[in-house]
Amino acid sequence: MSSGQHTLIFDNGVTDIADLVIGADGARSCIRSLVSSAMPQYCGVTIVEIQFIFVDDRHPEIAKLNQIRVYITLRAPENWIVESGIAFDQPEQARKDLLRLFADWDNSLLNFIHFCDANFIPRPLYTLPTNHRWETHPGVILLGDAAHLMSPFAGEGVNLAMLDATKLALAITNADDLKQAIHNYEQKIFPRAAKAAEESSSNLDLFISTGNAGKIAAEFFKKLMESGPPKDTEI
């Protein structure tokens, strides 16, 4: 609508008019296309998520609150889930197929595949451009993965989404009009998201590489632990 308001039409037939539509609808955001033509691109890496629930019989009450989640990560074509022929919908067969795929890996690592719960979830990873930005659009903003989808190698996705929400609330509280609030919010989130996206992209190259990836990753985490919490936590 010319006023910057938007009419929302829900699947159940309800309609509403909103002053501000917040696109917090994740990687496959349908709100994103209202402000940006950027589309998520496959980043060349697919993970297979596996997990272990109730790993400790000695302390079942504590074990119940915890699970171990492991990502089997590999460079693969975008349609690898189908092309690989791995029967992800038949978990015990998928277990055998994955053990065959990684047959030359050490048994200590193969045990993750041997003993995990019978549920293998393949997830191709997608990313938006590292410096994804858009012009301020009245009445619509993006938040979280909808705004800055990146591979999980910076471990920042959830932090950014929560920080975005806080920044948006503050921008709305502190500005005189909504258009200015939206603009202020976007200028705040763009630089931090771009920094995390670049970090995520270079970490992906570092960790999922041929050669000495294991040693490089170990050194990376050692440095991370030694450096303490990030300094740029300003809201």
Ligand X SMILES: Cc1cc2nc3c(=O)[nH]c(=O)nc-3n(C[C@H](O)[C@H](O)[C@H](O)COP(=O)(O)OP(=O)(O)OC[C@H]3O[C@@H](n4cnc5c(N)ncnc54)[C@H](O)[C@@H]3O)c2cc1C
The residues that touch ligand X, with contacts defined as CB under 6 A, are: 24-27, 30, 47, 71, 123, 144-146, 152, 155-159, 161
Nearer residue to ligand X within complex by CB, 26 or 129: 26
Residues 160/186, Cβ–Cβ less than 8 Å: no
Q: How many CA atoms lie within 13 A of 30 on its CB side?
A: 1
Residue 157: CB minimum distance to ligand X, A: 2
Residue 59 or residue 68: which is nearer to ligand X going by CB?
A: 68
Identify the burial level of 114 via C-beta atoms within 10 angstroms of its C-beta, where 0-12 means exposed, 13-18 middle and 19 or more buried. exposed
CB of 57 to ligand X, least distance (A): 27
CB of 152 to ligand X, least distance (A): 3
Nearest distance in Å: CB 50, ligand X: 11
> What's the min distance (Å) between Cβ of 45 and ligand X?
10
Backbone angles phi, psi at 207, to 5 degrees: -80, -40
Please give the helix or strand (H or E) that residue 184 lies within, else none. Answer: helix 178-207
Task: Closer to ligand X by CB, 91 or 152: give it.
Answer: 152
CB nearer to ligand X: give 59 or 218: 218
What DSSP assignment string belongs to 105-168? S-HHHHHHHHHS-S--EEEEEEE--TT-----BTTEEE-THHHH---GGGS-HHHHHHHHHHHH
C-beta closer to ligand X: residue 70 or 180: 70
CB of 175 to ligand X, least distance (A): 23
Place of tokens 């990030």: 230
Q: Which is nearer to ligand X, 53 or 59 (CB)?
A: 53
Q: Are β-strands 21-23 and 140-142 bridged in parallel, bridged antiparallel, or unpaired?
A: parallel
Residue with tokens 């990687």: 27
